[in-house]
Amino acid sequence: MRKKIVVGNWKMNKTVTESITLAAEVIAAIGKEFSGCDVGIAPAFPALYEVGKLTLPSRVSLVAQNCHFEPDGAFTGEVSASMVREAGCSAVIIGHSERRQYFGETNAIVNSKVKQALSEGLQVIMCVGETLEQREGGVTGDVVTAQVREGLLGIGNISNMVIAYEPVWAIGTGKTATSEQAEEVHLMIRNTVSDLLGEEAAEKLRIQYGGSVKPSNAKELFSMPNIDGGLIGGASLNVADFVAIVNAAD
Ligand code: PEP
């Protein structure tokens, strides 16, 4: 059985001081209540090092929201995989739809970043998902399959990877995919990975759902056979909501 994984993506929210406060509250709350699932938080870059001091001795892992595909060099404003690892991260989110939408990240760029992060020993959460237009145009399967295939190009070992299915139309909109809609895509992702890397690797792969997950819908989503946890945006900024979602996965 796959262990569930819940990660809070704080996006461009919270200063360093605010991040420390929120992280301390999350760690205290998760620590008190038993959690049988993996839990991570992804603050913004400036807060990673300080928050890392709090997460390191806890059961909560530190996750970066992005990293560059080159190991180092003249890339002003960018942050490398080794930098986030040394700041205390054990994982990184790659290819979030906001990165694809606002910063032009293609499947090829996502693939380069995944390779770089894996080579640094980071766990990678690779995000995929269709837009509303694509869903209504009936091409969800084609889009998500291409994102998975091209994102995993040349990668033979995905044991340190998680895929997050995040329909773009459900992110931050309050619209959640029904558990059946999400399960259908999760199963398709698993079958695609099975074609690429074999059944055993596909069965072990954890596939998170993301898109307006809340305490009220988390349990139903996480009860689906191919939904192995959640990538949580808005609700992860509220300690009580995030802990309730973690408990739903536990
Ligand atoms: C996300 O940003 O990964 C996300 C799922 O956001 P939200 O939960 O706010 O929809």
Which token pair is 96? 């979030």
pLDDT of res. 174: 82
The whole domain housing 27 covers 4-249
- Quick check: CB of 245 below 6 Å from ligand 1? no
Q: What is the CATH number of the domain that holds 206?
A: 3.20.20.70
Is the minimum distance from the CB of 232 to ligand 1 under 6 angstroms?
yes
**What are the structure tokens assigned to 131, written together?**
């837009």
> Which are the contacts of 174, defined by CB distance < 8 A and separation ≥ 6?
212
Residue 64 has what pLDDT? 98
Nearest CA to ligand 1 atom 1: 233
The vertex-89 CA angle with 163 and 49, nearest 5°, equals 145
Distance CA 42, CA 132 (A): 26
Is 186 catalytic? The answer is: no
Q: Give the model's pLDDT for residue 36.
A: 86
For residue 175, the model assigns a pLDDT of: 83
Identify the residue whose C-alpha is closest to ligand 1 atom 4.
233
Catalytic-labelled residue, pool 130, 166, 183, 186: 166
Would the pTM count as exceeding 0.75?
yes
Residue 166 is among the residues annotated as catalytic for this protein: yes
Atom of ligand 1 nearest to the CA of 234: 9
Residue 194 buriedness (CB in 10 A; 0-12 / 13-18 / 19+): middle
Averaged over successive runs of 10 residues, the pLDDT of the chain (250 residues) comes to 96 98 96 82 98 96 98 98 98 98 98 98 98 95 98 98 96 88 98 98 98 96 98 98 95
pLDDT at 34: 66
Domain count, the chain: 1
Ligand 1 pocket residue status of 129, Cβ below 6 Å: no
Q: Measure 104 CA to ligand 1 centroid, in angstroms.
A: 19
